[in-house]
Structure 1
Amino acid sequence: MDDIVKQALAKWPNVPSCTGWLMLDRRGNWRMRDEAAQASGSPGTPIRHEALLGFINRNYGADEHGQWFFQNGPQRVYVELGYTPWVVRLSANADGTLALQDQAGGAFEPAAAFIDEEGGILFADNADNAARPRVAVLHDHDLEMFSNHATLAEDSMSGEFHWNDQAVLPLQAIRRGEVAMRFGFEPSPAAKV
């Protein structure tokens, strides 16, 4: 969290939080959702300002209830999630090894791989041996690269992902509707704030 945010929280500790105004979409884009977007259920307008994106990413976190938020100075802005709290991109390094990077620019080291009934690929890590692993959906533009490093069973709901020749991650089936409960996050915190 940025120092300026910590200072604002100390100075104004009781600013009410807000919901519905910020969304992380299925492709890892931050979106502003004005009243019209909220009323129509649309994802809103993508944020393109690099400094603002950096500020959001540095001050993104979750509360004890698995509700993800952006700490905007003294105000907590709860985030609507298009799918998972993290979206990762898969790339190959110059030496041919694979890398996963989350929407905030951080490395993501997979410990498990999943496939949902819509063909979405998810990864879970075990960062810092946390009680709840982070879960991230793979950006759909990277599905071809994923398939080049995976062996899928005929049912397309199982198989394995070959992660850098060191690890083979079994590809486990998961229902999209079960992801939030299994990984302990709230995709739409508006009702619980």
Structure 2
Amino acid sequence: MDDIVRQAIAKWPNVPNCYGWLGLDARGNWYMRDDQTQGAGTFAGGSAASKGSLLKHDKLIDFIARNYESDKAGQWFFQNGPQRVYVELEATPLVWRIAGGPDFAVTAHTGKAARVQRCILDEHGRVYLDTQLGFGLVHTQDMLHAADAIEQGLWVPQEVLTRELPQRFAYVRSPAASQPVRP
């Protein structure tokens, strides 16, 4: 977390949390979701209108990545100064990029390097990795590298149903869904 963010938290400790305004898709892209977008439906499984506006500003994306973490309940958030902005997840809290062999280095969409602890395969053939940073989906463009690591026996996939992933790996796809409905 950035030092300036820690200072803001200390200065303004009681800023209310924000829900529904930021989404992370299955390819590691961030989306801003205004009131109209949120009214169009959920981020995961919703329409294109409910996804929001793709963030393209590199410095903002880097700031979010440096200040992205989870709380004890498994809800992921971006610490925006003194305010927690809880993230709606299309799939998982992290999206993994995989380098080619022989080492198959794993990096989160946030740019942080990770060590693979477990490989998961769901009923749709999607590959996930559990690491010291948390749980995430392998980016679609890196499935060939993941397949190579599996074929070489470096990762041995365990089969898990998609619907079981959030509970088993302790993450919440929609923190906003647990909030009271706004009038």
TM-score normalized with structure 2 length: 0.87
**3-state SS, counterpart of residue 146 of structure 1:** helix
Distance in 2, Cα, partners of 1:187 & 1:19:
12
Deviates more, 1:38-47 or 1:83-92: 38-47
Alignment of 1:140-159 (within 5 A): 140-151=140-151
One of 109, 113, 118 as aligned partner of 1:112: 118
- Higher gyration radius (CA): 1
Q: 1:149 to 1:62 in 2, by over 3 A?
A: closer
**3-state SS, counterpart of residue 120 of structure 2:** strand
Q: What is the aligned length?
A: 171
Shift of 1:191: 3.1
Ranges in structure 1 where 5+ consecutive residues have no aligned partner: 128-132, 152-160, 164-168
One of 134, 153, 168 as aligned partner of 1:162: 153
In the TM superposition, what whole-angstrom CA distance separates every residue of 1:24-53 from its partner, at most 9, and x where no partner exists?
111111111112221223221111111111
In the TM superposition, what whole-angstrom CA distance separates every residue of 1:115-161 from its partner, at most 9, and x where no partner exists?
11111100112x2xxxxx7111000111123223334xxxxxxxxx6
Cross-structure match for 2:65 = 57
The reply on whether 1:176 has 2:162 as its aligned counterpart is yes
Distance in 1, Cα, partners of 2:18 & 2:171:
18
Consecutive aligned runs of 4 or more in structure 1 exceeding 6 Å deviation: none
**3-state SS, counterpart of residue 6 of structure 1:** helix
Shift of 1:170: 2.0
Distance in 2, Cα, partners of 1:82 & 1:5:
26
Q: How many percent of aligned residue pairs carry the same amino acid?
A: 44
The reply on whether 1:70 has 2:78 as its aligned counterpart is yes
Shift of 1:79: 0.4
In the TM superposition, what whole-angstrom CA distance separates every residue of 1:137-193 from its partner, at most 9, and x where no partner exists?
000111123223334xxxxxxxxx633xxxxx3211111111000011111001335
Cross-structure match for 1:122 = 128
Distance in 1, Cα, partners of 2:59 & 2:106:
23
Instruction: Indicate the structure with greater strand content.
Output: 1
Cross-structure match for 1:3 = 3
Distance in 1, Cα, partners of 2:61 & 2:70:
17
One of 93, 102, 112 as aligned partner of 2:108: 102
AA at the equivalent of 2:107? Q
AA at the equivalent of 2:115? E
Distance in 2, Cα, partners of 1:92 & 1:145:
5
